[in-house]
Amino acid sequence: PTYAFQHQSYWPQGSDTVADEPGTPSDAVDARFWEAVEREDLESLADTLAFQDDGERSSLGAVLPALASWRRQAREQSVVDGWRYRVTWTSLTDAQAPRLSGTWLLVVPESAATDDWTLGAVRALTERGADVTQITPTAVEADRESLTRLVRAESAGAGAVSGVLSLLALDGGTAPGTDGVGAGLAGSAALVQALGDAGVDAPLWCATRGAVSVGRTDPLESPEQALVWGLGRTAALEYPERWGGLIDLPQAPDERALTRLAAVLAGTGGEDQLAVRAAGVFARRLAHAPLAGAPAVRSWRPSGTTLVTGGTGALGAHVARWLAGQGAEHLVLTSRRGLQAPGAAELRAELTELGAKVTVAACDVADRKAVETLLAAIPADQPLTAVVHAAGVLDDGVLDALTPKRFATVLGPKADAARHLHELTRGLDLSAFVLFSGIAGTLGDAGQGNYAAANAYLDALAERRRAEGLPATSVAWGRWGETGLAADGAIGERLDRGGVPAMAPHAAISALRQALDHDDTVVAVADIQWDRFAHGYTAVRPSPLIADLPEVRRLRATGGPAGEPGAAADGSPADALRARLAGISRAEQSLVVLEIVRTSAAAALGHPSTDEVGAGRAFKELGFDSLIALELRNRLTAATGQKLPATLVFDYPTPAALAEF
């Protein structure tokens, strides 16, 4: 606009304000010195150092550009170091678990009806007090509607259900009529939906076998089953009230393993991402992984031909420019439209000017035959030596709205393509096999169950390749700035509110270079502001996964969110609300609760005030979709301590109606 418009600040900028804080005189001197260096301001720097004669100033001028460059690189390195995370596993102490009780549904694929783990699970649960009802759908019964009928029939005859254990992930086949989606993933997703449709609120535990690795001596065997781990991390955020957790089982169900499985199902300790091994039970944790100046194990450079899938897309183009700048001889960039993709011809010209030979190929990397044809066309005098798999698409939606087709849309260009590339290049002498994963696969993300599953597969595939002695580096990216699937728009706004700001592309590329030089297998690279992120992430469900991070521990110590919903130094928000409501009239209570609903709705929408959220204004009119509705549910659950349905804003379409409920 041509007039002076109003700016609204949503949160303080943190590190940007550090320079304004009072410090010691030496801090001020240091700040002036480095400020002058970064500006390459020779006069100011000379004055700061009290250089008087021309010779001193001339010498300083000669070294200043190099000093400024070093400063910028050191600052960027420090920033990137703070973005690096890795998954670790902590050993839990075996404890005497309480006995199970009530009816437990054991859902088993037909292919595993007589599997040792199926028989062992029935015996272990029964011996420890549970009444076990087994549901064994055939391949054509593992869809949402059929599973709903089976669950209703079995739960109606068994009475109230205390828990559900699913072994559907063990099915290694392809689900019928799903365009290639694995039966283990499709069945697990359908079971989550079917339990909701059948009104079963008992916690669901999904078991896998060989889907994770807890250490070097424990190789990951089944990347396909890791898909269910990505799905489960999202289910925990969308359905916290009826989610149990994820359990990875050893190959053989000996007595110790069965005892530990029963202990996990009893829910002791609140852990929800676990691996049962001969050495004990291990819990998944997220930890910082700074390089802290550690020397690189190599200095990776491209040679021969480097293939970049999604190479004409936003992230792929950044990678291609970096590779060309590193001396890449031949770049093969793929996309579905090839040179017809927007900006592809200009990108090829730009890379050619940097000295690289560039081939832009139209290829659907989800199609194995197309990938075979692509690889066969690579010239023999410039053999393929590196793969960067950056292709991917989004089709976001809450789990209840996801269909097999929507899973296939996302899995095809990301997970299926990665598998094709892995299998078709296994016999080649590659120096790098880079997978662009996403932080959604590491942490889960409400509304991205299909994308989280695909990313979890990529991370697992990298671990599987390493176990086979093949090169692999999977980078679970956070949000890239300027470009990418989550750069801006509604997704970007939601991530901003949730504490995941955008990373500068040049800094992200620096992180990629470091991951290759340090030969990382799986590393997460994301800018996460834990003071904001932890609040939403643990609003309705504790998260032991992030509980050991120093930032989360500090939040716990200061009364902020620390893995416990509503954790506060003086009691939970729900307790405070009850105390507030106890001494006032019904009419006053209604006003208080209405204000909580309006404030929570405004926050979920990203509004700075409740001005737009009128008591009688429909949520749909305000712009609510299923994902924002889920965020509002989580906020209200934390504020009230009540178990609230995910369909809240659809059942009660205005703030006034919802407040009355």
Q: Using 50, 70 and 90 to split pLDDT, how confident is the model at 268? A: low
61 contact partners, CB below 8 Å, separation of at least 6: 42
The span from the CA of 573 to the CA of 35, in Å, is 44
Q: Each residue of 343-396: pLDDT tens digit?
A: 999 999 999 999 999 999 999 999 999 999 999 999 999 999 999 999 999 999
Query: What is the structure's pLDDT at 87?
Result: 98
426 contact partners, CB below 8 Å, separation of at least 6: 470
Minimum mean pLDDT range among 10-14, 101-105, 243-247, 640-644 = 10-14
Query: For the domain bounded by 573-660, which CATH number is listed?
Result: 1.10.1200.10
Q: In 538-585, which residue ranges form alpha helices assigned H by DSSP?
A: 550-557, 573-582
Query: What is the structure's pLDDT at 38?
Result: 74
- pLDDT above 50 for 22: no
Residues of the chain with CATH 3.40.50.720: 305-527
163-187 average pLDDT score: 96
Query: What is the structure's pLDDT at 13?
Result: 42
- pLDDT above 50 for 607: yes
Q: Using 50, 70 and 90 to split pLDDT, how confident is the model at 21? A: very low
The dihedral region occupied by 355, where left means phi > 0, alpha psi between -120 and 50, and beta the remainder, is left
Single-letter amino acid code for the residue at 392: G
256-262 average pLDDT score: 94
Q: Each residue of 284-342: pLDDT tens digit?
A: 999 999 998 899 999 999 999 999 999 999 999 999 999 999 999 999 999 999 999 99
| Alpha-carbon separation of residue 219 from 211, 251, 431, 467 (angstroms) | 9, 12, 22, 6
- pLDDT above 60 for 645: yes
Q: Using 50, 70 and 90 to split pLDDT, how confident is the model at 29? A: low
Q: What is the residue-averaged pLDDT of the chain? A: 89
Q: Using 50, 70 and 90 to split pLDDT, how confident is the model at 14? A: very low
The span from the CA of 577 to the CA of 589, in Å, is 10
- pLDDT above 60 for 114: yes
Q: Using 50, 70 and 90 to split pLDDT, how confident is the model at 12? A: very low
Q: Using 50, 70 and 90 to split pLDDT, how confident is the model at 557? A: confident
Minimum mean pLDDT range among 11-15, 43-47, 234-238, 537-541 = 11-15
Q: Please give the residue that has the higher pLDDT: either 641 or 419.
A: 419
DSSP string for residues in 311-349 = TTSHHHHHHHHHHHHTT-SEEEEEESSGGGSTTHHHHHH
Joined together, the tokens standing for residue 414 give 């990301």
Query: What is the structure's pLDDT at 5?
Result: 54
| Alpha-carbon separation of residue 15 from 9, 25, 489, 490 (angstroms) | 15, 20, 25, 26
Q: Using 50, 70 and 90 to split pLDDT, how confident is the model at 20? A: very low
- For 279-289, letters b (16+ CB in 10 Å) and e give eebbbbbbeeb
Residues of the chain with CATH 1.10.1200.10: 573-660
- pLDDT above 50 for 17: no
- pLDDT above 70 for 278: yes
Q: Using 50, 70 and 90 to split pLDDT, how confident is the model at 560? A: low
User: By C-alpha distance, which of 98, 87, 114, 94 is closest to 277?
Assistant: 94
**Count of residues for the chain?**
661
Query: What is the structure's pLDDT at 15?
Result: 41
468-493 average pLDDT score: 80
Residues of the chain with CATH 3.40.50.11460: 95-288
Minimum mean pLDDT range among 67-71, 473-477, 551-555, 636-640 = 67-71
Helix, coil or strand: residue 200: coil
- pLDDT above 50 for 571: yes
Query: What is the structure's pLDDT at 156?
Result: 80
Q: Using 50, 70 and 90 to split pLDDT, how confident is the model at 56? A: confident
Residue 475, phi then psi, degrees to nearest 5? -110, 115
539-561 average pLDDT score: 85
Q: Each residue of 396-410: pLDDT tens digit?
A: 989 999 999 999 999
Helix, coil or strand: residue 277: strand
Residue 132, phi then psi, degrees to nearest 5? -95, 125
Place of tokens 């970064």: 38
Single-letter amino acid code for the residue at 87: V
- pLDDT above 80 for 565: no
Q: Each residue of 86-98: pLDDT tens digit?
A: 999 999 988 777 8
Query: What is the structure's pLDDT at 91?
Result: 95
Q: Percentage of the chain surpassing pLDDT 70?
A: 92
- pLDDT above 90 for 23: no
Q: Each residue of 196-254: pLDDT tens digit?
A: 999 999 999 999 999 999 999 999 999 999 999 999 999 999 998 899 999 999 999 99
Domain 95-288 has what CATH class? alpha beta
pTM: 0.87
Which residues does residue 71 pair with via DSSP β-bridges, in sequence order? Answer: none
Is CATH 3.40.50.720 the right assignment for the domain spanning 305-527?
A: yes
